[in-house]
Amino acid sequence: MIDVRLLRSEPDAVRSALARRHQPEVLEQLDRAISFDTLSRDIVAKRDAIRAEVNDLSKEVGQRRKSGDTAGAEELQIRSRAIGEHERVLAGEFDVVQSDLRELLLRIPNVPHPDAPDGAGDVDNPVVKGPVNMPAEFAEHKRVPHWETGTALGILDNERATKISGAMFTMQRGNGAALARALCQYALDRNVDEFEEIRPPSLVTTATLTATGQLPKFADDAYSIERDDLWCIPTAEVPLTSIYSGEVIEAEQLPLKMMAYTPCYRREAGSAGRDTRGMLRAHEFDKVEILAVASPEQAPGLLVEMTGRAEALIAGLGLPYRIIEICTGDMGQSHHRSFDIEVYAPGCDNWLEVSSISWFSDYQSRRADIRYRIAGQKGTQMTHTLNGSALAVPRVWAAILENYREPDGSVTVPGVLHPYMRGVERISGR
């Protein structure tokens, strides 16, 4: 969440920055938050004045008792109790205002980075690199949608997945399943030089999902297990971010770099009514995530590094791709600055987002209370967090089937995946 102190010291700057998101309701929420903060400080001032008066009365009561003025002392005590009751009323009002303020702050999005491009929506996202590996034209045999190729080869069985779990679930079989697993292992192996591998829980508490910004705003998009107050993770970003929640990290330990393979669960997968065939949108999918906890000074360099790592994975697969920067009006709730990597799928005739790399400034750390301490300095500071999809399986899997499809309907396996495919270099069927 945004630091409430910024609302006090730089309200106009915060308003100007959030106006770049092109969401009028956000500015309304900001005004309400500023109002609640002002009210809470007024209540604190009144409470402190009452406490001072009660202390003064207590001293005077003692003095009167010493002087033998019992009646006067009792009169002052009655007055003190009345004032104390007023203090308790103010305390209750303060708790209500603080609760309302926190609820608003949890819903107000992060402030965009000054260098983030202006724009109202995804059509305004500029291409900052590419297209790379894009042929002048695609042969007709590559213009076949992956769901047709996958079904014909017996490696994609969404019909039975739907029978098992309902709409918007997918199932890979045989070498299709091996290809999905190979992609995950490939992503893990290419990042193990710098990122610690972790296998976090796939179910998390409400507090954990709140820390990264999914709650309360996006509760309807998540799968919940109400009986146990647990949620299925939409991405490994969620548990990885909270590993250090409520902790103070020594500055020399930063940056902390982590990665994880996990299944991911998203209820909203098919809600847009598009890309509902094949592997493009699904309620459950596999993904390798990379994440860093850093100082503010380290964060910009890490954004460049993590974007480069995600790009290298796609480039290594030989897929046509481009990199776009997310404009202010298309940014996610927690994002400070973001880049997406998109691959071109000739069968779908579309650019598919396969990776998103984001810097969250201290927005998530403030929610999760992740701090760091510099040796020899008093106090602590908020860390910054960054994360990126090192490799999300479904759309990369789909793009491989379309870009590597041969005239006979088989699919060549990209060379970097050969070590993970049990010797299979071409998929001709199950």
pLDDT at 152 over 70: yes
286 and 359 housed in the same domain: yes
From 68-82, 206-220, 268-282, the region with the lowest mean pLDDT: 268-282
189 and 140 housed in the same domain: yes
* Contact of 384 with 365, CB cutoff 8 Å: yes
Longest dimension (CA), the chain: 109
Q: What is the CATH number of the domain that holds 14?
A: 1.10.287.40
State how far the Cα of 272 lies from the Cα of 120, in Å rounded to an integer: 19
Confidence at 86, pLDDT banded by 50, 70, 90 = confident
112 located within any domain: no
Exposed, middle or buried, 330 (CB in 10 Å: 0-12/13-18/19+)?
buried
193 and 94 housed in the same domain: no
From 8-12, 52-56, 255-259, 341-345, the region with the lowest mean pLDDT: 52-56
177 and 264 housed in the same domain: yes
378 located within any domain: yes
The number of distinct structural domains making up the chain is 2
**Residue 269: what pLDDT?**
52
pLDDT at 173 over 50: yes
For the entire predicted model, the pTM comes to 0.91
68 and 199 housed in the same domain: no
DSSP code, position 156? B
365 and 338 housed in the same domain: yes
156 located within any domain: yes
Q: Which residues, in sequence order, are bridge partners of residue 345?
A: 350
Summarised one tens digit per residue, pLDDT across range 130-144 is 999 999 999 999 999
Confidence at 376, pLDDT banded by 50, 70, 90 = very high
* Ranges 72-86, 88-102, 352-366, most confident: 352-366
**Residue 271: what pLDDT?**
45
Owning domain of residue 355:
122-427
47 and 146 housed in the same domain: no
pLDDT at 394 over 80: yes
100 and 150 housed in the same domain: no
% of the chain at pLDDT higher than 70: 98
138 and 238 housed in the same domain: yes
